[in-house]
Each structure stands twice: as structure tokens, then as C-alpha cells.
Amino acid sequence: MGAPFHLMELPTRILIGDGVLKKLGSFVEESGVRPKVVVAAGINVQRKVRTAVSRAFTGSAAWVDVDAADLANVARVIKASKNSSAVVGVGGGKSVDVAKLAAFKRGLPFFSVPTSASHDGIASPFASIKGLDRPYSFMAKPPLGILADVRVIASAPRSLFASGCGDLVSKITAVKDWQLAHEVMGEYYGSYAANLALMSASVVIEGSARFKTFTKEYVRDLVEALISAGVAAGIAGSSRPCSGAEHLFSHYLDVIAPGAGMHGEKCGIGTIMMAKLHGLEWRGVRRALRDSGAPTAASQIGVPRRRVVEALVKASSIRPDRYTILSKVRLDSAAAEELAESTQVI
């Protein structure tokens, strides 16, 4: 059973290395795109890289300030890209997602230039935008090219890397949910995409202690793992290998506890609990997150225990069509509270 076919869309070119930001203009041109671009980036990111990026494009870059991942910012980028040949997202999650959706709506090539390693959206075909009719990521297109300057990314706040570690670890339970949906609902399951996602998670599970030394080599490993996770979603033709009940938990918290914690942090905390429901070694997940500097308790990101319980009980309502472990166990408030307490999330 399962889907008779699905479409794979993947990044065409990826350049990663120390000091490669200066090559951005030639990278875009070598991808077959005229380097007349609109660049979406937040103010803080622009302070760090605007000069280097503008030089790379020899003045042919129009800049749009992005202050939120919402439809208003997407509309501004679309308007600015009227005479452009491509859209470039420079920064963390919000700028990349805004640029990705704007490029998709305009039918333009999209280039991803991450300045932090906080989540796998830098390579995936999905964009997470607020103000839509659903509080979760939806299909757009993957970047035509990804340029990741390890020197720039290594200078980002450590909390952003910890969030990226949480997003990577979440692939463990996402894949288990995908397998469960295949067994129970007959949903398509692709073992290659699943294994690629799990391999990305292993970078954190097996190497979290390296976070303490935090070398450029480890930063590069994290970035490559996040890119690989995004590619896994492209191969699967859905977010299944990267997003399960732990992501639904995170998205529900976005609704009832807005502004509390980063996406990857909430996914990581959710993974601890979903791992226990799946019968996995949740203590190992918790240990890896702790060693990576990621939060393992709701109090660390300012989420009250009652909100954790509510999110566990109601997270499946975010996306009823996505079968996960929460669809199977159907936690009530008492069971949800016991789960969160037993895993030391509350």
C-alpha cells in the first residue's frame, strides 16, 4: 500500500567551507542564474554579512529587511523581486523560510545562505510561515543552491546550535512515527530517506560531547547533517522523515505558548517524551540534548507544566491526517502529566 508515486525535488548545488561567502555571486551565476537578486535578511544578520554579500554581487543585490516569518514579510520580498532573477535567503529560520516561500510564489530560483545551524529548513522544500490557515510547515520548493560559510555560522550564538541539535535529534521519533503510519495506515514509507534522516540524528546522539569543544569541524558536521535531513525530506516527497509527533507538540506550543523557546528546542523536548512512548532509549536522547546545550525541561524555555500537558493531549489536532504515536496512544491529561514527569520534562 501507500502512494503509487511521489516527486523528489532536491538542491542542485551545495557549497560549504570556511570563508566561502565571498563566492556567493559566482555561485549563483554558475548555477545558471543571472546574479540580479533580492536578498531577504534580518537586521542583525545584515550587520554581520551585508557588506560581504553586496560585494559578492557587485552591487546587484536589493535588500529586504525581514523581521518575522509571516505573510507580510513574504509579500514585501515578492514585491521587491519584481525585476530580479532569484531570491536569496540569508540568516536563520525566518529569513530562509520567507525567501523560500516568496521565491516559490514568484516562480524564481531560491538560494539558501544560512548564518546559523538552528534547523533543517536550510535545505528542505518546506517553509514555516505564520499567518496561514495551519500552524505547521507546508510544501514549497527546495533551494536551487545552498552556500554555507562555516566561519560565519560558527560565530552565531551557541543557543542556535543547541536548537539545531534538538531538530536533528527529533528525526529519531519522526522516523518511528513514519514506520507506525506505514504499518497502521498503509502510508508510503521509504527506508532510504528514513535512514538518511537517522544518520543525520546520529551526529548529535553519538557526538554531543563534542559540543563542549565546539570546533569548526563539529560546526561543519552539524550543518552537513541539517542539510542531509532536509534532503531526506526531498527524497521522501514529504516531511515524514523529519517531522512527527514531536513537531506537532512544538507547533501546538507555538499556538498556546507563543514566543517560548526556539523550534528546535521544543522539538528536542518533545522527542524525549515521544521516544518513551515508542519504547526507545529516551534517557540517551535526553543526555545527548543536555550535552549539546539544548534544554531538556519545559521550565528552561519558559513553558508552564499545564501547557506541556495540554500540548501532549491536543497536539494531534494540529494535523489530524498525520498518524503518529500520539494518534495511537490518545493521552488524557493524567497520562500526559505522568509522561512529562517521568521523563523530567516537567
- The model's pLDDT over 38-56, given as tens digits with 9 standing for 90+, comes to 999 999 999 999 999 999 9
The answer to whether residues 308 and 325 belong to one domain is: yes
Of 116, 131, 156, the one marking the end of a domain is 156
Q: Give how far Cα 271 sits from Cα of 64, 176, 326, Å.
A: 35, 11, 12
299 within some domain: yes
Of 131, 156, 181, the one marking the end of a domain is 156
The answer to whether residues 321 and 334 belong to one domain is: yes
pLDDT tens for 64-121 read 999 988 899 999 999 999 989 999 999 988 899 999 999 999 999 999 999 998 888 8
At residue 169 the predicted structure's pLDDT band, cuts being 50, 70 and 90, is very high
Cell of 196: 538518511
The answer to whether residues 54 and 98 belong to one domain is: yes
The answer to whether residues 294 and 221 belong to one domain is: yes
125 within some domain: yes
The answer to whether residues 196 and 308 belong to one domain is: yes
The answer to whether residues 39 and 143 belong to one domain is: yes
pLDDT tens for 212-255 read 777 888 899 999 999 999 999 999 989 999 999 999 999 999 99
Phi, psi of 60 (to 5 degrees): -95, 30
Cell of 333: 491529561
Over range 18-42, report the average pLDDT.
92
The answer to whether residues 30 and 64 belong to one domain is: yes
2 within some domain: no
Phi, psi of 122 (to 5 degrees): -65, -20
Check which CATH number belongs to the domain holding 17 and give it. 3.40.50.1970
104 within some domain: yes
CA distance 273 to 229: 21
Report whether pLDDT(168) > 80.
yes
The answer to whether residues 29 and 99 belong to one domain is: yes
Domain that holds residue 262: 159-342
Task: Return the SS3 of 340.
Answer: helix
5 within some domain: no
Check which CATH number belongs to the domain holding 248 and give it. 1.20.1090.10
The answer to whether residues 220 and 286 belong to one domain is: yes
Over range 272-300, report the average pLDDT.
96
The answer to whether residues 98 and 239 belong to one domain is: no
The answer to whether residues 189 and 312 belong to one domain is: yes
141 within some domain: yes
Based on the structure, what is the number of domains in the chain?
2
What b/e sequence results for 305-320 when a residue is b if at least 16 CB atoms lie within 10 Å of its CB, and e otherwise? Answer: eebbbbbbbbbbebbe
Q: Which residue, 330, 199, 323, 334, is CA-closest to 277?
A: 330
The answer to whether residues 110 and 232 belong to one domain is: no
Of 139, 156, 173, the one marking the end of a domain is 156
CA atoms in the 13 A half-sphere facing the CB of 241: 28
What b/e sequence results for 91-127 when a residue is b if at least 16 CB atoms lie within 10 Å of its CB, and e otherwise? Answer: bbbbbbbbbbbbbbebebbbbbbbbbbbbbbbbbbbb
6 within some domain: no
CA distance 86 to 100: 10
DSSP 60: -
CA distance 8 to 175: 18
3 within some domain: no
